[in-house]
């Protein structure tokens, strides 16, 4: 189709979203400071980039319903990673390689780069009825808002593997004279990251299988991302069919001569239930930022039929720690969301008796930071309950068990969403310090332990807003060195 026909399809989709958005002004589970679509469906973050001084985030979007469907690329931007503004849809299915007749088609996930002042995006054209059904495509924008699909798409039309389980989610970056692209795939029951190389962004040659599952790490690697961090490289993937593990990273070394990534250690970037398809990008301050989809395939889609489904996590900065693992810390710009706050110091918990804090948790969108020294704790466990004064049956429990050195987030009594207990064991070398930094939004809870050494992201759907924190030390007394609580702003008002 012509450029203007693609634009017509986009205009129609924008109108559908705007009409639906007008009807949803006070949904009870709407998030206050997370990025969600204006209306209807969102999954993976795509095309994350710091372009001409602004952060751009595209996302998998179905503009005609709050369910997954033919994928478009929704678009938002931010000056500071904390306040977001919606922009028009960037890509819609319009060509034989991304448009089909039934549900199984669309502009699937991908990434963005800047070249000659222009914004280039790479995505997978997916059409179930085609063979091959997944091909890699490019689109270009001069203003960062309107995109023209490359006239000679696809830029990669066949997997080197022939028969394979998936060939999608291109992530592009530059190193030296070459552009590199890693693509997620799977063969013979093993997920793999395929590496391509190009001198001009148009002609791509297959370079190598950069990395492959050892047989236990999933049979298809969605949304692979390969990037330098400190003096190492990290490969981040979203594995399919890996026993409950939905995100995984490897720290290792990348050999650009052979195109091989040599993994050394592996771990999860997030131990919660709702973190998937994460993508990273470098910003102008030299930081490596990660954002994930804060939902999960197969989970109970509580907000279905409420007009919006899907959200992004808050942005986190990735850091290589001294023990060779990757920490993910909330970016400091999020402090600009703080409204009223209060701080308590040297809170003594007698054991088995709750201290109730009600400051600023009321609106259901709040942040708190609790710090303690475990030397000041003779308790067996510390419980932080997020509760509602209106509904005593509902609570979300954060429980730190001292002898296990593990933080649990228990959402079995959180409300109408999925239950389940997620757990993060802290590294043994964490020097007796416990810092729990939590971001609560109306229907989400992201918990960062010891400056992002461990992270747990979960959706929760309490019927009544949580307005209280209960602190209890169980099996002995404990002193909380400090706890600060802030109400966070609603960026959408």
Catalytic residue, from 44, 225, 383, 418: name it.
44
Q: How far is the CB of 110 from ligand FRU (least distance, A)?
A: 8
Can you tell me which of 108, 147, 250, 273 binds ligand FRU, judged by CB under 6 A? 108
Complex with ligand FRU: residue 121 or 337, whichever CB lies closer: 121
User: Which residues, other chains included, contact 74 with Cβ-Cβ below 8 Å and sequence gap of 6+?
Assistant: 37, 42, 58, 59, 60, 61, 63, 86, 89, 90
Instruction: Tell me if 173 contacts ligand FRU by CB under 6 A.
Output: no
Instruction: Tell me if 43 contacts ligand FRU by CB under 6 A.
Output: yes
Q: How far is the CB of 439 from ligand FRU (least distance, A)?
A: 23
Instruction: Tell me if 185 contacts ligand FRU by CB under 6 A.
Output: no
Q: How far is CA 12 from CA 308, 376, 423, in A?
A: 18, 61, 44
Structure tokens that stand for 336 in this block: 């600009």
User: Which residues, other chains included, contact 141 with Cβ-Cβ below 8 Å and sequence gap of 6+?
Assistant: 90, 118, 119, 120, 121, 147, 148
Q: How far is the CB of 372 from ligand FRU (least distance, A)?
A: 37
Can you tell me which of 14, 36, 94, 124 binds ligand FRU, judged by CB under 6 A? 124
Structure tokens that stand for 47 in this block: 């095309």
Can you tell me which of 78, 109, 111, 198 binds ligand FRU, judged by CB under 6 A? 109
Can you tell me which of 60, 185, 280, 473 binds ligand FRU, judged by CB under 6 A? 60
Complex with ligand FRU: residue 278 or 397, whichever CB lies closer: 278
Footprint on residues 64-93 left by ligand FRU (CB under 6 A) = 71
Q: How far is the CB of 60 from ligand FRU (least distance, A)?
A: 4
Complex with ligand FRU: residue 33 or 59, whichever CB lies closer: 59
Site string for ligand FRU, 439-458 (x = CB under 6 A): --------------------
Structure tokens that stand for 31 in this block: 């998030």
Complex with ligand FRU: residue 71 or 357, whichever CB lies closer: 71
Complex with ligand FRU: residue 97 or 400, whichever CB lies closer: 97
Footprint on residues 344-363 left by ligand FRU (CB under 6 A) = none
The single-letter DSSP state of residue 37 is -
Q: How far is the CB of 124 from ligand FRU (least distance, A)?
A: 6
Question: SS in 3 state form for 328-349?
Answer: EEECHHHHHHEEEEEEEEEEEE
Bond preceding residue 210 cis, omega within 30 of 0: no
Q: How far is the CB of 88 from ligand FRU (least distance, A)?
A: 20
Q: For residue 8, indicate whether it is catalytic.
A: no
Structure tokens that stand for 435 in this block: 């810092």
- Residue 410: closest CA among 400, 401, 397, 393: 397
Complex with ligand FRU: residue 74 or 252, whichever CB lies closer: 74
Complex with ligand FRU: residue 43 or 472, whichever CB lies closer: 43
Instruction: Tell me if 381 contacts ligand FRU by CB under 6 A.
Output: no
End-to-end CA distance of the chain: 38
Quickly list DSSP for 255-308. Answer: ETTTTEEEEEEEE-S--SSS-EEEEEEE-TTS-EEEEEESS-TTS--TTTTTTE
220 touches 232 (CB < 8 A): no
Name all contacts of 145-148 with Cβ < 8 Å and 24+ positions apart: 145/75, 145/87, 145/88, 145/90, 146/7, 146/88, 146/90, 147/90, 147/91, 147/119, 147/121, 148/3, 148/6
Can you tell me which of 212, 219, 222, 394 binds ligand FRU, judged by CB under 6 A? 222
Q: How far is the CB of 178 from ligand FRU (least distance, A)?
A: 24
Q: How far is the CB of 43 from ligand FRU (least distance, A)?
A: 5
Complex with ligand FRU: residue 109 or 381, whichever CB lies closer: 109
Instruction: Tell me if 277 contacts ligand FRU by CB under 6 A.
Output: yes
Using CA atoms, how far apart are residues 126 and 106, in angstroms rounded to an integer?
5
Structure tokens that stand for 287 in this block: 């930081």
Residues annotated as catalytic (active site), given as ranges: 44
Catalog residues that contact ligand FRU under the rule CB under 6 A: 43-44, 60, 71, 108-109, 124, 168-169, 222-223, 276-277
């Amino acid at each position: 189709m012509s450029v203007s026909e693609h634009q017509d399809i986009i205009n129609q989709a924008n109108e559908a979203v705007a009409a639906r958005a007008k009807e949803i002004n006070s949904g009870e589970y709407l998030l206050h400071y997370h990025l969600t679509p204006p209306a209807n469906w969102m999954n993976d973050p795509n095309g994350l980039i710091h372009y001409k001084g602004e952060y751009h985030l595209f996302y998998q979007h179905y503009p005609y319903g709050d369910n997954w469907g033919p994928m478009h690329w929704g678009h938002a931007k931010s000056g500071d990673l904390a306040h977001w503004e919606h922009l028009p849809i960037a890509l819609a299915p319009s060509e034989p390689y991304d448009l089909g007749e039934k549900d199984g088609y669309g502009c699937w996930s991908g990434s963005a780069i800047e070249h000659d002042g222009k914004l280039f995006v790479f995505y997978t054209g997916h059409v179930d009825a085609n063979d091959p059904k997944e091909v890699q495509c490019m689109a270009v924008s001069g203003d960062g808002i309107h995109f023209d699909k490359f006239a000679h798409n696809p830029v990669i039309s066949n997997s080197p593997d022939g028969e394979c389980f998936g060939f999608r989610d291109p992530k592009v970056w530059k190193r030296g004279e070459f552009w590199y692209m890693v693509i997620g795939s799977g063969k013979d029951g093993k997920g793999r990251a395929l590496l391509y190389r190009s001198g001009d962004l148009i002609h791509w040659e297959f370079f190598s299988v950069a990395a492959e599952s050892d047989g236990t790490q999933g049979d298809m690697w969605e949304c692979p991302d390969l990037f330098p961090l400190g003096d190492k490289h990290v490969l981040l993937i979203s594995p399919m069919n890996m026993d409950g593990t939905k995100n995984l990273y490897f720290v290792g070394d990348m050999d650009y001569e052979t195109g091989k990534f040599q993994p050394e250690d592996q771990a999860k970037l997030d131990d919660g239930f709702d973190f998937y398809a994460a993508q990273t990008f470098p910003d102008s301050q030299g930081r490596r930022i990660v954002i994930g989809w804060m939902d999960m395939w197969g989970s109970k889609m509580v907000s279905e039929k409420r007009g919006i489904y899907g959200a992004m996590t808050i942005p986190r900065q990735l850091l290589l720690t001294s023990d060779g693992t990757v920490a993910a810390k909330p970016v400091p710009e999020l402090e600009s969301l703080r409204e009223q706050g209060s701080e308590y110091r040297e809170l003594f918990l007698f054991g088995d008796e709750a201290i109730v804090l009600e400051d600023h948790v009321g609106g259901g969108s709040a942040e708190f930071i609790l710090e303690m020294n475990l030397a000041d704790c003779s308790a067996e466990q510390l419980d932080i309950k997020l509760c509602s004064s209106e509904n005593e049956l509902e609570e979300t429990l954060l429980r730190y068990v001292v002898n296990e050195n593990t933080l649990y987030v228990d959402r079995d009594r959180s409300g109408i969403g999925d239950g389940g207990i997620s757990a993060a064991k802290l590294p043994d070398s964490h020097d007796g310090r416990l810092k729990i930094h939590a971001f609560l939004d109306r229907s989400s809870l992201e918990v960062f332990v010891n400056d992002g050494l461990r992270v747990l992201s979960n959706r929760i759907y309490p019927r009544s807003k949580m307005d209280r924190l209960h602190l209890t030390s169980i099996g002995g007394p404990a002193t909380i060195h400090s706890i600060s609580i802030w109400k966070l702003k609603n960026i959408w008002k």
